[in-house]
A and B are shown apart, each in its own frame.
Chain A
Amino acid sequence: MKIKKQSSLSSKYWLMILVLFCLFLLGVERFLGGGEMLRFIGNYTVVPMQKGISYVGRYLSDLSDNFDTLEEVRGEKDALQAKVDELTIENTRLRQEQYELDRLRELYKLDENYSDYDKIGAHVIANNGSNWFSDFTIDKGSNDGVKVNCNVLAGSGLVGIVTEVAPDYAKVRSLIDDASNVSGMVLSTSDTCMIRGDLKLISDGRLRFEKLQNNDNVIEVGEQVVTSHVSDRFVQGLFIGYISEIEVDSNNLTRSGYITPAVDFSKLQEVLVITATKEDLTGGKED
């Protein structure tokens, strides 16, 4: 025997009500800022569970690292030692240049230094479950000083920008997301370009750049690209990646091509968030 609760409305009307409700939500989102309240609830219900799962995942991967063979660890040690030597030499050279830079800066009375941003570390606790977007959730939120438009780094390179903040979590949009746009700058020539994420390139983990002026500056494959000084959301001088392909557009005025990012977006675990946004950094100066 099957008992069914008969509600007075037939399913057709329910569908219509839900459709209208959703369309209404989509319509008023501009004015209400969509789901702040619900995200606040999510902050204390769903996100702790995601944190738990990702903690267990980290623990297990640590555990499996313990079973690396001695040979592997030795090989890694040699490689790291070589890297340390290389970096020590480079560091000495850079330090000499730093002294020179400091002296010259003093001469110019330039006291601002962009290289020291305050950063906090965060774990990636969840990725976007849909294949159409490329963003992830980190376990730090407004309680830790993360704000919307904070820049996010992993290792040495830029990863993305914070788009949503709740008390204990934040959503970060990756550079490779289709909606991502960054104003970049070729390090050697200071020419600016636009770096766009592209859905087609997500699986290769590459980025496309456009609108690089086709001037006399020779730009070759392998040049470094950083965030530019004209961007209003990204602080200056964050490393993005290396140019892997470049060609002159058919209009002969601009160049475009592809960039290999410095970060492997498929294996993000820990990231660094720069707590000061570009607005904070520039706002005080302009006043």
Chain B
Amino acid sequence: MKRRITILLIIVTAFLVQSTILPGLQFASVGPNLLVIVTASFGFMRGRKEGMAVGFTAGLFFDLFWGTSLGFHMLLFSVIGYMNGSFQKLYYDEDIKLPLVLIGSSEFFYGVATCFFIYVLKGDFDFLNHLVHIIIPELVYTILATLILYQIILHVNKRLEAEEQRSASKFV
């Protein structure tokens, strides 16, 4: 229960920061995507199911307040959470390279999927332009933001896991 509330708080905070504070820190009108970082991190730290649940919630916020139709980002983020969950066995705390690569590829996947489903299907075939002007800058910016945000999420997750272990061993 405590874990659920904490994760929800992290998602809401990331959402609030991304919509209110970050627009003031944009370069060339592109900002980082914190919700992808949160979703991917919980995916590879905690496995497929939790990744999916976090992605689903993050996508819900995304669709309700920023998106055009309810369901699209929920689906996209659930899949991102699931795919990152598949890498849980390869992941261990001290390594920063795997998280960076996973979050980077999740962000790239998010960018290409959005571009394809929202713009290419509408008849806007200028993929290269979108790649250079939005997907790549957003990717770079998100990786920069990962360096900070991932440390926070890692710390919170460690605390939660330690606490869960304590309370579990108490009852055994």
Q: Could you list which residues of chain A lie within 8 angstroms of chain B, going by C-beta atoms?
A: 1-3, 7, 11, 14-15, 18-19, 22-26, 29, 34-35, 38-39, 42, 46, 49-50, 53-54, 57, 125-133, 135, 137, 171, 178-179, 199-200, 202-203, 205, 266
**By the criterion CB–CB under 8 Å, are A46 and B12 in contact?**
yes
> Taking the complex as formed, is B16 at the interface, i.e. its CB lies under 8 A from any CB of chain A?
yes
**By the criterion CB–CB under 8 Å, are B33 and A129 in contact?**
yes
- The residues of A that contact B19 with a CB separation of less than 8 Å are 50, 126-129, 137
**By the criterion CB–CB under 8 Å, are B49 and A19 in contact?**
no
**By the criterion CB–CB under 8 Å, are B75 and A29 in contact?**
no
One of B21-29, B89-97, B98-106, B146-154 at the interface: B21-29
Q: Could you list which residues of chain B lie within 8 angstroms of chain A, going by C-beta atoms?
A: 12, 15-16, 18-24, 26, 28-31, 33-35, 47-49, 52, 56, 60-72, 74-75, 78-79, 82, 85, 114-115, 118-119, 124, 126, 129-130, 133-134, 138, 164-165, 168-169, 172
Q: Given known contacts A46-B12, A199-B133, what 5 new A-B pairs fall within 8 Å (CB)?
A: A1-B168, A38-B70, A126-B65, A127-B23, A128-B66
Instruction: Tell me what chain B mostly uses at the interface: helix, strand, loop, or mixed.
Output: helix
Q: How far is the CB of A285 from chain B (nearest CB, A)?
A: 33
Contact status of A200 and B29, CB under 8 A, knowing A3-B164, A22-B71, A46-B16: no
**By the criterion CB–CB under 8 Å, are A22 and B75 in contact?**
yes
- List the 6 shortest-distance A-B pairs measured between CB atoms, nearest first: A25-B71, A129-B18, A22-B75, A11-B48, A26-B71, A34-B70
* Residue of chain A at shortest CB distance from B165: A1
**Complex Cα distance A57/B15, Å?**
17
**Complex Cα distance A19/B81, Å?**
12
- The residues of A that contact B138 with a CB separation of less than 8 Å are 131
Q: How far is the CB of B112 from chain A (nearest CB, A)?
A: 12
**Complex Cα distance A152/B70, Å?**
25
**Per a CB cutoff under 8 Å, which of A7, A26, A54, A129 touches B31?**
A129
**By the criterion CB–CB under 8 Å, are A11 and B85 in contact?**
yes
| Residue among A54, A128, A171 with max Cβ neighbours from chain B (10 Å) | A128
**By the criterion CB–CB under 8 Å, are A200 and B30 in contact?**
no
- The residues of B that contact A39 with a CB separation of less than 8 Å are 64
- The residues of B that contact A125 with a CB separation of less than 8 Å are 20
**Complex Cα distance A126/B19, Å?**
5
**Complex Cα distance A135/B67, Å?**
10
Q: How far is the CB of A38 from chain B (nearest CB, A)?
A: 6
**By the criterion CB–CB under 8 Å, are A23 and B65 in contact?**
no
A-B CB contact pairs (8 Å), 25 listed: A3-B164, A7-B49, A11-B48, A11-B49, A15-B82, A18-B78, A19-B79, A25-B71, A29-B70, A35-B63, A46-B12, A126-B20, A127-B23, A129-B33, A130-B67, A131-B29, A132-B118, A132-B119, A137-B19, A171-B65, A199-B130, A200-B130, A200-B133, A203-B133, A266-B26
